[in-house]
Structure formats: C-alpha cells, structure tokens
C-alpha cells in the first residue's frame, strides 16, 4: 500500500524537532519500523520529522562508571564501540542478531525502544541492566526507568510531544556475567521468546540476579523469581527459578506459537541465559 501524504521535515536541531512534535506529527529515525506502519496506513501523520542525523542524538560516551547512548545511535555504531562491548557485552551479543545488515546499518536503538515491539530483543536487556531513558520535550526533561517505560504492546511512557534522547546505563556491579538466549521467529528474527540475564557473584555466592523476558507476554518484563538466586551458589536452583519465572504468565498466542509452547520456550531461554550468565560471572 502507499502511505497517506505527509510533509517531510529534516530537523536541524532538537528545538526544531520539538516545535513540530505533537498529535499529528511523528519522528522518523532509521525508518525500519515506521515505514511499514505508514505503508499499512496504521500511522497517518501529517508531518514526518527526521531526527536520524541529529548529532545531539548520536554517540556513545562514558558517564561515571556507566555509559550514555544517544537515541539515534544505530545498531552498527553500537557494534563498533569497543568501550560499550567491554562494559556491556550483552548489548553487543544481542545487537549482532537484530535483523540483518541493512536493519543494523539504519535502525537506531532509540527507535527500537520507542517502537516497543513486545518481541523486540533490546528491551529485556535494558531491564536487566536497569537502564534509564532521558525523555525531552519543549517543556523540559525527565528520566524514566526502563522498568517503567514499557507500558504495553507498542506503548511506552513517551508522551506525543516527547522524544527519547538518551539511554543511560549504570555501572554494572563487579564480577557480573550477562547473557541472552532466544528462540527466533525464522522469517523476521524477532523473539518467539527470549530471556536476558545478569548475575553478579562474590565469594562464590550470587549477590544480584536479574532476569527479563521478551516475546512471552504483552510487554517485556522483569521476573521477580530471579531474586531467589541471591545468597545461593545458583547451579541447582536455576531450573526451578526459570520455571517459576514463567509460571502464571499469560503467554502470547499467535500463528507462530501457542501459549503452552511459548511458555516452554521462555523457560528454556531463561535457564540457558541464567546458566551462561552465572558461568561468565565466575
């Protein structure tokens, strides 16, 4: 299908973008998720504001013990950053498997997060890393934890007049292992079910354990069951924790996987992610 007509504006700076933002305007970064929406007429903006090249939204820098990533930084740019890979190997591990070369060349981390596809790979990574997102509008700035950002399928805490401008990553604890395991839908690469895990150890005991899912339910979510690993050596409890994390979740049902199968895949992904993260932490 052909999109409805719209005006295309390339923003020269952030305040330029804020002026135009609102109910009838949409921003475009890499366009990989937005263009299909336009073509199916699921989005019919009057104005398209291109923010993909704004230098203020680009780049990866160290901040305190953590790092900050501009929202319009592409997946390729994430993969090219040795510093990012050294501190958050999980981001590189996941990014390598997002889409194909073209998607990674133009798709942006901010575009993917703002789009909030319930099967996207990056949201659970942001949850286990306890990232925060800087949201900006003409009226000012606010910071929202990734854990409060994803509200439902394709729905986030972003207001229509706001932009996601920066992803803020806190320093990971010492002796941390991170891992991601997923079962991909063969045609798109999106997760039928995926799990991200972060485990920190000290003196052979787990001091922090985080587990988050994607593809399993309406929205990515953090599994409270992971906390049961804290204070233990881990190994014997992992299968139990993986099963408990999925139990009671209303799993998605679609042509690719029914809820029982999807819940099974999520349990296996959780077990693999936790086991690998623990091994890497030791």
Ligand X SMILES: Cc1cc2nc3c(=O)[nH]c(=O)nc-3n(C[C@H](O)[C@H](O)[C@H](O)COP(=O)(O)OP(=O)(O)OC[C@H]3O[C@@H](n4cnc5c(N)ncnc54)[C@H](O)[C@@H]3O)c2cc1C
**Which chain residues interact with ligand X by CB under 6 A?**
26-34, 71, 98-99, 103, 107-108, 110-112, 114-115, 120-122, 158, 163-164, 188-190
Cα separation of 211 and 254, whole Å?
A: 24
Q: Select 35 or 205, whichever has its Cβ closest to ligand X.
A: 35
Dmax (CA) of the chain: 62
**Shortest approach of ligand X to residue 122 CB, angstroms?**
6
- Rounding to the nearest 10 degrees, give the CA dihedral for residues 133, 136, 139, 143: 10
Q: Select 26 or 271, whichever has its Cβ closest to ligand X.
A: 26
| Residues 21 and 27: beta-carbon distance below 8 Å | yes
Strand 47-50 and strand 7-10: the pairing is parallel
| Residues 40 and 1: beta-carbon distance below 8 Å | yes
Q: Select 121 or 130, whichever has its Cβ closest to ligand X.
A: 121
Q: Select 99 or 177, whichever has its Cβ closest to ligand X.
A: 99
**Shortest approach of ligand X to residue 212 CB, angstroms?**
14
Q: Select 115 or 208, whichever has its Cβ closest to ligand X.
A: 115
**Shortest approach of ligand X to residue 228 CB, angstroms?**
28
Enter the tokens of residue 275: 């086991």
**Shortest approach of ligand X to residue 110 CB, angstroms?**
4
Q: Select 191 or 242, whichever has its Cβ closest to ligand X.
A: 191
Nearest residue to ligand X, scored by beta-carbon proximity: 111
**Shortest approach of ligand X to residue 203 CB, angstroms?**
37
Burial (0-12, 13-18, 19+ Cβ within 10 Å), 248: exposed
**Shortest approach of ligand X to residue 220 CB, angstroms?**
10
Q: Cα-flanking dihedrals φ and ψ of residue 234, to 5°?
A: 100, -60
Place of tokens 């005991």: 205
DSSP state of 145: E
Residue 1, SS3 per DSSP: coil
């Amino acid at each position: 299908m052909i999109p409805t007509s719209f005006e295309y504006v390339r923003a020269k700076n952030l305040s330029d973008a804020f002026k135009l933002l609102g109910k009838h305007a949409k921003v475009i970064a890499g366009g990989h998720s937005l263009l299909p929406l336009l073509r199916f007429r699921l989005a019919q903006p009057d104005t398209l504001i291109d923010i993909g090249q704004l230098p203020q939204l680009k780049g990866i820098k160290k901040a305190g013990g953590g790092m900050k990533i501009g929202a319009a930084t592409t997946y390729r740019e994430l993969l090219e950053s040795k510093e990012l890979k050294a501190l958050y190997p999980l981001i590189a591990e996941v990014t390598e498997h997002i889409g194909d070369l073209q998607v990674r060349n133009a798709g942006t981390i901010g575009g993917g997060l703002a789009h909030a596809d319930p099967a996207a790979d990056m949201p659970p990574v942001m949850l286990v890393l306890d990232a925060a997102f800087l949201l900006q509008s003409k009226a000012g700035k606010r910071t929202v934890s990734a854990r409060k950002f994803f509200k439902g399928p394709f729905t986030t805490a972003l207001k229509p007049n706001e932009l996601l401008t920066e992803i803020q990553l806190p320093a990971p604890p010492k002796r941390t292992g991170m891992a991601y395991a997923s079962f991909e839908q063969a045609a798109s690469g999106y997760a039928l079910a995926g799990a991200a895990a972060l485990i920190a150890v000290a003196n052979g005991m787990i001091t922090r354990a985080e587990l988050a899912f994607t593809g399993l339910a309406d929205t990515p979510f953090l599994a409270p069951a992971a906390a049961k690993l804290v204070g233990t050596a881990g190994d014997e409890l992992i299968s139990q924790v993986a099963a408990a994390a999925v139990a009671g979740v209303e799993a998605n049902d679609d042509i690719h996987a029914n809820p029982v199968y999807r819940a099974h895949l999520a349990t296996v992904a959780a077990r693999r992610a936790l086991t690998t993260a623990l091994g890497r932490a030791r």
